[in-house]
Structure 1
């Protein structure tokens, strides 16, 4: 059994299409497998709308794709429902429209301009008129945990010491510590994104796929067999060697 996974997309439709092309090439050699996207479909990149359309259309066409919810996806839907409702996990002085978070980039892909420079009420009204309800429904319905094979797929990570069934949504989409420094076994291999790195990295107990597409880096696609993983490149598979967490 093999599974495929794609890291944080952040509005980069071209990178997402290229990642799926690499997966299709691997499937042609090794057979089909489910494809899991670990969330953060939106923000920072130029075409969040196109990313959501691509994923909705692929699933509607019968592709065996799972799309998880990331913290940026949740911030988007929360803003659309109530722009003044605080986002758990986000520092109080920040908002989704802060330049560091990329909400304005997402709204621009729907034709809403200058979102960071106008009153929030006006931006929200324009966003409600511009963003298709089908996109919001799709994002709101995304799961935060997916079990397949020997893996558990989440966006950010899990809280050590808690059963997977007892994890909170906020931890699943926001956590960093104590997850990142935990060296024990989680049971299944935790496949996640959220914490940007230069490249996809395997730590033995977890596999981080966020290779900084949001900041000009690559969008990683991997194939997973058991607890082993290989990065998919234009020339084929490249096995990810387990890093020492100590």
Structure 2
């Protein structure tokens, strides 16, 4: 991975967010979906951005936090590479090096794990991007929707080809993280339900109710899951899923005691 310490291209968000991270610098990364090249470019930008912050504030000694909001796999060509990259960062973090890394689960990781436990889930999984993940682990999906026997064979091959540390990483993914006034989840929260009573399925899958109703939980929810052409910065939620698999744009947000700042990696053209 290359790290180029030039001043980053970043743009301040315009939404009326007034919140605190408890004094930390927190970067949240949106849905990656197997695009390792975009992830590496965005990580370069984040490293440069934090170096620039430390130039301006030489007394700052804290570790920056790096939160991934899930959906590392499916749709893109390099799901295995993305898992390897995030796992390596998490391993360094656990050893006290680099950024403090928090890796959240997305609905696509939940679906992958469901297939490992239940081969019948394979047909539905490949229709929403799982075929690309299987290919990245050198597993060939059956033609069409396949039958029960073929999916059991694919499941067995995937179980053999999936490295043990990748499986352990996937099973250990968190459902949420909290820093000051910011709550990080994959999809959102059920409006009006206290944080300690939120259902995992909502944190991983919710859309309409969360997007259309104020959640009234006294925090800013930072999430992905629902792709949009531009990041959304609002008073009670921030959406950083810009549909990297379709737009070629992967988005992160930097959160401090100041207004949020959006950072992005982009490809000018998808092949």
The answer to whether 1:81 aligns with 2:117 is yes
Provide the residue aligned with 2:43 in structure 1: 20
1:175-190 alignment, distance < 5 Å: 175-183=206-214, 185-190=216-221
Comparing 132-141 with 7-16, which one deviates more in the overlay? 132-141
The answer to whether 1:125 aligns with 2:156 is yes
TM-score normalized by structure 1?
0.86
1:19-168 alignment, distance < 5 Å: 19-31=42-54, 32-62=63-93, 63=98, 64-84=100-120, 95-98=124-127, 101-115=128-142, 117=144, 118=146, 119-168=150-199
The structure-2 alpha-carbon separation of the partners of 1:233 and 1:38, relative to structure 1 and needing over 3 Å to count, comes to closer
Larger radius of gyration: 2
Relative to total residues, which structure has the larger helix share, 1 or 2? 2
SS in 2 for 1:35: strand
Unaligned residue ranges in structure 1 (runs of 5+): 87-93, 235-246
Comparing 182-191 with 15-24, which one deviates more in the overlay? 182-191
- Is 1:199–1:218's contact at 8 Å kept on the other side of the alignment? no
SS in 2 for 1:180: helix
Deviation at 1:229, TM superposition (A): 1.2
The count of residues paired between Structure 1 and Structure 2 equals: 225
SS in 2 for 1:223: strand
Q: CA RMSD in A?
A: 1.8
SS in 2 for 1:104: helix
The structure-2 alpha-carbon separation of the partners of 1:204 and 1:180, relative to structure 1 and needing over 3 Å to count, comes to same
TM-score normalized by structure 2?
0.78
Deviation at 1:116, TM superposition (A): 5.2
Deviation at 1:228, TM superposition (A): 3.0
Q: Distance in 1 between matches of 2:263 and 2:160?
A: 40
Q: Distance in 2 between matches of 1:125 and 1:109?
A: 16
SS in 2 for 1:30: helix
The structure-2 alpha-carbon separation of the partners of 1:13 and 1:162, relative to structure 1 and needing over 3 Å to count, comes to same
Deviation at 1:11, TM superposition (A): 0.7
